[in-house]
Amino acid sequence: MIKLASYNMRKGIGTDRRRDPDRILHVLREIDADVIALQEADRRFGAREMVISPHLLAEHSDWKAIRFNMRERSMGWHGNAILVRKSAEIVGCGAIHLPALEPRGAVVADVRIADQTVRVVGMHLDLSGLWRRKQAHTILAHLDAAPDRPLTVMMGDLNDWSAASGCLRDFGRRFAFAQTGPSFHARRPVGRLDRIMVSGGLRVADCGVHASAAARKASDHLPIWAVVERDADPPPLGV
């Protein structure tokens, strides 16, 4: 079994309007996932520096950040980052350039953990439904173009409220969604903007929204999580 989490950390700015990367790490330690997809992990302007410094991550957590080498001071690509256990092996990684009016991207990595290699995609999609669908098609096309088809997990802030149309329907034709529940807004969650999706061959054994007191203050999104395991029978598709 592998525990996954996805968290839009809002550049470390909490609902009290304070930037506090230590508080983000505290929430991540509460969840204690093996693989974590972060959104808005970098500052937006200037050098777009990572919010959680390498020293802070190394000294006060059990994870390491996968280095995509897109920007020297950034943790990921357009704010998307992936953290894994320090014991995990990074088989390969890269960035996915997404069509957008404003800078958007996704990241992908093959991670070997718990004697299992899983392809992990982290994403933060557009506010526009039209662009979200274009971005979803680009991500799926990137996966289709790969020479191999390992077990795959996709996670992130999809910015889509509708389960019956748009990018959720596009992804749902190929992936099963973990029924995690509403994660936005952190103080009163009503929107299922954040999602975890698994390919055939994987089964969601358990999942949920992490709604601790610390999580309700650390960002305007609550983290979501899922425990996945191998499954010989294809999981049901859809949201």
Nearest to 38 by CA among 92, 76, 85, 90: 76
What is the rounded CA–CA span in Å between residue 6 and residue 140? 19
What single DSSP character describes residue 47?
A: T
Each residue of 71-123: pLDDT tens digit? 777 888 999 999 999 999 999 999 999 998 787 889 999 999 988 999 999 99
Query: Residue 235: its pLDDT value, please?
Result: 53
Token duo for residue 200: 């055939």
Please report which confidence band the pLDDT of residue 157 belongs to, taking 50, 70 and 90 as the band edges. Answer: very high
Q: What is the pLDDT of residue 236?
A: 59
Alpha-carbon distance of 228 to 151, in angstroms, equals 11
Q: What is the pLDDT of residues 15-73, one digit of tens each?
A: 999 999 999 999 999 999 999 999 999 987 666 789 999 999 999 999 999 999 877 77
Q: What is the residue-wise DSSP string for 33-45?
A: -SEEEEES-B-SS
pLDDT tens readout for residues 164-221 = 779 999 999 999 999 999 999 999 999 999 999 999 999 999 999 999 999 999 999 9
CB 193 within 8 A of CB 158: yes
Distances (CA, A) of 156 to 59, 137, 231, 232: 26, 15, 23, 26
**The dihedral sign for the CA sequence 205, 211, 215, 219:** positive
Domain parsing of the chain, residue ranges: 2-230
CA distances from 136 to 118, 143, 170 (A): 20, 11, 7
Quick one: fold of 2-230?
Answer: Deoxyribonuclease I; Chain A (3.60.10)
Decide: 110 and 118 in contact? Cβ < 8 Å: yes
- 227: Cβ–Cβ under 8 A, 6 or more apart, which residues? 1, 2, 3, 4, 204, 205, 206, 207
Residue 238 in this model has a pLDDT that exceeds 80:
no
Q: For residue 193, what is the DSSP state?
A: -
